[in-house]
Amino acid sequence: MDNIAGTKSSLTWAVHISVVILVALWLFPTLGLLVSSFRTSDQIATSGWWNATFPSTQNLTLRTEPPKSQIEREGEFIIEGNLFGSAGSSQIQVYGIASNALGAYQVGETAPLRNGGTITVLANGDYQMKNSEAFKGKRGQRVFVTAETPPKFTLENYRNVLFDPANSEGMAKAFFNTLTVTIPATIIPILVAAFAAYALAWMEFPGRALLIAMIVGLLVVPLQLALIPLLKFHNFVGIGKGYFGVWLAHTGFGLPLAIYLLRNYMVGLPRDIIENAKVDGASDFQIFVKIILPLSFPALASFAIFQFLWTWNDLLVALVFLIDATGETTVMTKQIVELLGTRGGNWEILATSAFVSISVPLLVFFAMQKYLVRGLLAGSVK
């Protein structure tokens, strides 16, 4: 359409800018979490993540060495050292020695101490305290500095969340639990649904239209209704809460969409192939296994992605059917909700855990987007 006279408007640049803004708006929140997961807790707490690539200015309270480390030189008592422990990359701009006069002195200037003597602080944190008589007391002098720290990113958070054996968050365990829930819950419904979809697409029998209508209806039944009756049922047959129950539940909840998607796809396959096979003496079972199943791969793939994303991201079904009082079988979504409740301020742990949990679906999403879109277009009822 762009080649018709009058459509190539001068507004093209406006379109580009609008899309840039839209994409930026949609990306910005996720980017914030990603950047935060690579920062230390101090950095997250003292500056916005959008400042992460700039040096950050922090107000720090540091201490000099205690008086017992003083040395006597040419009649003066001297304490020397570095406020940061060792000269690092932070640059001090101003400093003070009282909490009510934070930036009273420039670096290099000499400040008089309240209990006698003087202190000089340099930009890299080196200091020298001088006094004509010995320094007294147990603790070092407090120094209030305003320091500029260059941007720094760390993988420490990921190491803590995933590999630290002492880590109480148990993200690694939750990760494997989630995987254990997801894979059977994705694979089992596919096969069940494929057979049913074939019957609904290519076999003639009374009541077929009614069944299809029923499946379309079941597509939108909120699974909230199923929670208590099914929990009662699981307890009744002795499954209780556990992996088996959650696999069954996900299978049941995923089936309407699976059947609907696959039937819609199979009905579109060319009639000739199937009729030729029938003429050649193939049974329905053979036609299904040898012809329909391989041809339906795109639809199978798109349902598999849906079901994978849905089971991986699920919280409610896991809460109700899987996670018991011991908490051994917790999944990542539950773990993150827990972190939100108990450690809502620890953004470095929260951000990293959240990113670990969304990285797998994101990977699947970007790798298999084609099938996902195709599935959405075929079954946009759920």
Partner 1 sequence: MHPALQGLITIVIGVGGCVAYYYFSNQFLDKVLYPPRGPRAGHNINRANLIRPWLFLFPALLALGLYLAYPVFETLRMSFSERLPGGGSAFVGLDNYSQMFAEPKFWEAMRNNMLWLIVVPGLSTAFGLLAAQLTDRISWGNIAKSLIFMPMAISFVGAAVIWKLVYDTRPIEQEQIGVLNALYLYFGGSDPQTWLTLPIWNSFFLMIVLVWIQTGFAMVILSAALRGIPEETIEAAILDGAKPFQVFFKIKVPQIIGTIVVVWTTITIVVLKVFDIVFAMTNGQWETQVLANYMYDKLFRANDWGLGSASAMVIMLLVTPILIWNVYNARKEMR
We find the least distance from the C-beta atom of residue 286 to partner 1, in angstroms, to be 9
DSSP secondary structure, 226-270, as one string = GHHHHHHHHHHHT--SSHHHHHHHHHHHHHHHHHHHHHHHHHTS-
| CB closer to partner 1 out of 37 and 64 | 37
CA-CA distances (angstroms) from residue 91 to 75, 88, 124? 32, 8, 5
Nearer to partner 1, 32 or 81 (CB): 32
Q: Residue 209 Cβ, how far from partner 1 at the closest point, in Å?
A: 6
**Tokens read off for 316:** 């409610």
Minimum CB separation of residue 132 from partner 1 in Å reads: 39
Q: Which residues contact 56 (CB under 8 A, 6 or more apart)?
A: 43, 46, 47, 148, 149, 151
Q: Which segments within the chain are labelled E, that is strand? A: 56-63, 71-73, 76-82, 91-96, 105-106, 110-112, 118-121, 126-131, 142-149
User: What distance separates the 2 farthest-apart alpha carbons in the chain?
Assistant: 113
* Shortest separation between residue 210's beta carbon and partner 1, angstroms: 9
**In the complex, least distance from residue 37 CB atom to partner 1, rounded to whole angstroms:** 10
Three-point CA angle 346, 323, 348, nearest 5°: 10
Identity of the residue, 122 or 188, whose beta carbon is nearer to partner 1 in the bound complex: 188
Pick from 81, 83, 82, 77: nearest CA to 130: 77
Q: Which sign, positive or negative, has the C-alpha torsion 365, 371, 377, 380?
A: negative
Of 24 and 134, nearer to partner 1 (C-beta) is 24
Q: How many CB atoms lie within 10 A of CB 129?
A: 24
Q: Which is nearer to partner 1, 79 or 201 (CB)?
A: 201
Question: Which runs of E-coded beta strand occur in 275-381?
Answer: none
Q: Which residue, 337, 333, 342, 326, is CA-closest to 311?
A: 333
Shortest approach of partner 1 to residue 154 CB, angstroms?
17
From the CB of residue 341, how many other CB atoms can be counted at a distance below 10 Å? 8
Q: Which is nearer to partner 1, 78 or 319 (CB)?
A: 319
* C-beta closer to partner 1: residue 49 or 127: 49
Give me the least distance between CB of 83 and partner 1, in Å please.
Answer: 22
Min. distance of Cβ 201 from partner 1 in angstroms? Answer: 10
Give the residue with the Cβ less far from partner 1, 155 or 367. 367
